[in-house]
Amino acid sequence: MAKVRTLVITGYGTNCERECAFAANQAGSDQTDIVYFFDLTADKVRLTDYNFLILPGGFLDGDDLGSAQAAALRWRHMRTKSGRSLMEELRIFLDAGGLILGICNGFQLLVKLGLLPALDGQYFMRQVSLSHNDSAKYEDRWVTLKVNPGSPCVFTNGLDYLYIPVRHGEGKLVTDNESTLVRLQEQNLIALQYVDPKTLEVTQDYPANPNGSPLGIAGLTDPSGRILGLMPHPEAYNHPTNHPRWTRGETSTLGTVLLEKGIAYLRTR
């Protein structure tokens, strides 16, 4: 049975790394390391020594150039001390069967690196982006999510609905044309959608959809199903008492189930 070695990247404004590491350990990771981005470039750590990469939420570079824009440029253009390309390291990591989970700012980074949605198998090409919420303000609330049963995503396999928190100001998926949304549907790369908590129907209505994302898109996967990016924070719901109505006896499936699914998948490799 394969061991799961989890790498959680931090630095430059990331602030959810400890929650992510805790959630990974809780989900069964055999080894979990929180590593600063520049430790990769200094050759202190190699991405390819791990098989589960988590890009946590936070406010990378203060979102000053747009969410995760500066971080994407670092990944694209910086090299390690020994001259290795970080983008090539990412490619090798994925070719070896590694999993990537990008949460909130991490999702924003994945789309700007072109790792999501990778329509037609075109990786490292930016095809979509994430922009300001329609409300024009930071949203901090709990949302109900529907899992797409037709998605290849290994993190959501076998799940139906989730109830987890969001906390972001730039979570609306944007595309250059309508056909991109059609292709996302046709290729089943929409992994998670915001739904009305009463009807469980996909919605663009506020506040059930906190950002106005078309088709209620809350998370995307890639054609392999081994990359998941989502705006809500599954790691923030890691115990029943995190639920906003737990004192009334209300609970639901923990958000950490997404990490459990990913880790279970890796153990079979």
Alpha helices, DSSP H, located in the chain:
17-26, 37-41, 69-77, 86-95, 105-113, 178-186, 257-267
Active site residue 233: yes
Q: Which of 104, 153, 168, 243 is catalytic?
A: 104
Backbone torsions φ then ψ of 162, nearest 5 degrees:
-135, 155
Q: Which of 16, 170, 233, 243 is catalytic?
A: 233
d(CA 216, CA 220): 11
Q: Which of 139, 168, 235, 243 is catalytic?
A: 235
* β partners of residue 194: 145
Active site residue 88: no
Active site residue 235: yes
Residue pair 45/39 in contact (Cβ under 8 Å)? The answer is: yes
The residues annotated with a catalytic role in the active site are: 104, 233, 235
